[in-house]
Chain A
């Protein structure tokens, strides 16, 4: 299941991050990679608000589809 289909407010584990290497590397530095936890906080204005390691990020649909959950 992709993050874009996740249920709001539930702690999930990342199975895989797809997409161009540059973006994957960037997400990795934020702590968004295989085996880490992620929570979808809300879906706002077409963007996905996620909690990763104590911080909040807004990511667009394309990126949310590239993050696969366990």
Chain B
């Protein structure tokens, strides 16, 4: 087996290349630090041929060059398939980006540990040709590892746009390694690259570059001057790098001190409006109200009645499986449109600018603009969002970011918002944006609170590379959309389906395993009733709401599907203004319920990610307790104050609510005082 590792600077195109040669669809975005863990996959069969096919421009050196001329265009495919196939399995490992072998952040350390500790057979060093000099610093370090190295020179289009020329052949000779020009986005040159990598792997050794001062105290400086000589020898600059580019001009608008934030708000609003009220919302409405509510159940019911299936089995399949999973799958178009648009935005290079714009606000709560990246990723799913916190160098900032990131409504929470806004606030477009505004407010207030509760000595320094803007690729956006859609369908047909079946059983049977006439005597009702009293101060009456919240911790989509199952007695569609949901909630309580499910701790999988990243059970417990308190308090305040102001009377549970609220405030003040007293004498 041959193991190829992809190494290079952040945002040089490693994951794009990885996806292209393995057929995977890993998360790609045009900003530094998208990949924070190593990923492995087999090389696609079409890339396994040993011969150079003449596609792309391969500039070989030494033995590799000879190889190239031996094989030429002729006997390309075939001689390598068959018996040797297994033996010649090729694994490709995608690594997080790094600027050097001396890591600055924890995800850089992953790359370092892999290339130095797990001895891959060959390294593909991806170089962003438009930052050749900076990239070569890392390249010269990689060349010293005595692992055969092939350079993939990516983004040559940007170099040419700048009017620069790189003498690839000369560079290959100077560094004593093969260089292949590639365009990772279109796949150009990739067959030549993989062929060169496989050939080089057989070489086993790699000569290190020779420069004065290697191993000395001033090694970094000496390496830099060596890299400068190299660059001067091979790069002809057509234009001064300091001239104002189009990107710089765009930055002056979108990262403007005053307009930066409103522009970001407007862009996000437009994306959500297009997804939810546009095509995505329309298609989801059709699927929910017609396909999964009428057509499919009617057809299946008719079929079962004709063949005479037991009514209980019929109910399990129609009400449990189809009703529950359908309620979630109905939101697929909405999610697909959303992720398509987000992928276009990410690909443009704008997201790094958002971090710049947000830096000021995050500084106030002891964080930096770097914390914005996990939160943007968190709009899709909290798990990669939480993992993206690895790019934050400061440990305290990382912990706070991990605690705050799940407040960003993830893709799985969208069906809950969509359901409740369609039922209780039809035609009112403020509900969706309000969730993101509340999320933003909670992040700021939560950050302030955490800063005052725990002794944080934040050292927040902020630095981020700004990639050049580019026209977003439609192909890229479609593949990212496909990735999300696939994950959503898999989740719906596995974990959500299983959970729905379970919910159906628990609400159909009593503890003595008898079918119940009245669902309130069921297993589910008794479990729901245990925590239901805790929810009375929040205005949520009945076991159904409690049960839906509980199943939501398995996966947030379950909130919707559980309601679909437990309320299936009614003929009205779940997602309509005549929904049986209106019997459970007043509009104020419905809004509070939405808040409660969005801003309490995330699903178990995300809690698992928090556990892995936050550094210790103690911090995990603090995080969950904090998130639970925030969500609970906010939902309670909305119900109690909203009922009083809008309906003119006290809500149920007003007195316990007041007691709980006062206790939470008291505990908060106590914790802040305790922290102040602790940090004063020992502080700086």
Contacts and interface: CB of A to CB of B under 8 A. Distances in A.
Interface of A: 9, 11, 19-20, 22-23, 25-31, 33, 37, 39, 41-42, 44-47, 49, 51-60, 62-63
B102 interface: yes
Interface string B385-412: 0000000010000000000000000000
Interface of B: 99-100, 102, 104, 130-134, 137-138, 220-221, 224, 241-242, 244, 247-248, 251-252, 255-257, 260, 352, 355-357, 359-360, 363, 368-369, 393, 459-466, 468
A40 B461 CA distance: 18
B466 A60 contact: no
B120 to A, nearest CB: 22
Contacts of A30: 99, 134
A26 B244 CA distance: 25
Contacts of B242: 9, 11, 37, 39, 41, 51
Contact of A54 (B132, B224, B459): B132
B248 A45 contact: no
A56 B99 CA distance: 14
Given A29-B102, A33-B224, A54-B130, A60 B248 contact: no
B123 to A, nearest CB: 18
Contacts of A28: 220-221, 224
A53 B260 contact: no
A51 to B, nearest CB: 5
B102 A46 contact: no
Contacts of A47: 255, 356, 359, 369, 462
A52 B466 CA distance: 12
Given A27-B463, A29-B220, 4 more contacts: A39-B242, A45-B356, A45-B360, A63-B463
B248 A46 contact: no
Nearest to A37: B242
Contact of A57 (B255, B260, B463): B463
B367 to A, nearest CB: 12
A29 B369 CA distance: 21
A57 B465 contact: yes
Contact of A23 (B134, B252, B363, B461): B461
A63 B461 contact: yes
Contacts of B369: 47, 58, 60
A58 B464 CA distance: 5
B356 A29 contact: no
A56 B466 contact: yes
B247 A56 contact: yes
A29 B244 contact: no
Contacts of B131: 53-55
A45 B251 CA distance: 10
A39 B460 CA distance: 23
A46 B466 contact: no
B100 A58 contact: no
Contacts of B464: 57-58
Contacts of A42: 248, 251-252
Contacts of A11: 242
Contacts of B352: 58
Contact of A62 (B248, B256, B356, B461): B461
Contacts of A49: 248, 251, 255, 356, 466
A25 B255 contact: no
B134 A53 contact: yes
A29 B465 contact: no
A39 to B, nearest CB: 4
24 contacts: A20-B459, A22-B104, A22-B393, A25-B220, A26-B99, A29-B99, A29-B138, A31-B224, A37-B242, A39-B242, A41-B244, A44-B260, A45-B257, A47-B255, A47-B359, A49-B255, A51-B242, A53-B134, A55-B134, A56-B466, A58-B255, A62-B461, A63-B462, A63-B463
A55 B252 CA distance: 17
A27 to B, nearest CB: 8
B144 to A, nearest CB: 15
B395 to A, nearest CB: 13
B137 A29 contact: yes
Contacts of A53: 131, 133-134, 241
B248 A59 contact: no
B462 A44 contact: no
Contacts of B468: 56
Contact of B359 (A26, A39, A45, A55): A45
A9 B242 CA distance: 7
Contact of B356 (A20, A51, A58): A58
Contacts of B459: 20
A60 B244 contact: no
A9 B244 CA distance: 8
Given A41-B244, A45-B357, A47-B369, A25 B102 contact: yes
Nearest to B128: A55
Contacts of B100: 29
B224 A44 contact: no
A57 B255 CA distance: 13
Contact of A56 (B220, B224, B368, B465): B465
Given A26-B99, A49-B248, A44 B461 contact: no
A57 B466 contact: yes
* The 9 A-B residue pairs with the shortest CB-CB distance in the complex, in nearest-first order: A39-B242, A60-B462, A29-B100, A44-B255, A56-B466, A26-B104, A29-B99, A58-B356, A55-B131
B463 A59 contact: yes
Given A23-B461, A63-B462, A54 B251 contact: no
A58 B241 contact: no
B131 to A, nearest CB: 5
Contacts of B356: 44-45, 47, 49, 58
Contact of A31 (B104, B130, B137, B255): B137
A20 B251 CA distance: 29
B218 to A, nearest CB: 11
Nearest to B249: A42
B133 A45 contact: no
Nearest to B360: A46
Contacts of B251: 41-42, 44, 49
Contacts of A52: 134
Identify the interface centre among A33, A39, A49, A54: most chain B CB within 10 Å of its CB: A54
B257 A54 contact: no
B368 to A, nearest CB: 7
Contacts of B466: 49, 56-58
A25 B466 CA distance: 20
Identify the interface centre among B100, B356, B459: most chain A CB within 10 Å of its CB: B356
Contacts of A62: 461
B256 A45 contact: yes
A30 B136 CA distance: 10
B12 to A, nearest CB: 11
Contacts of B248: 41-42, 49, 56
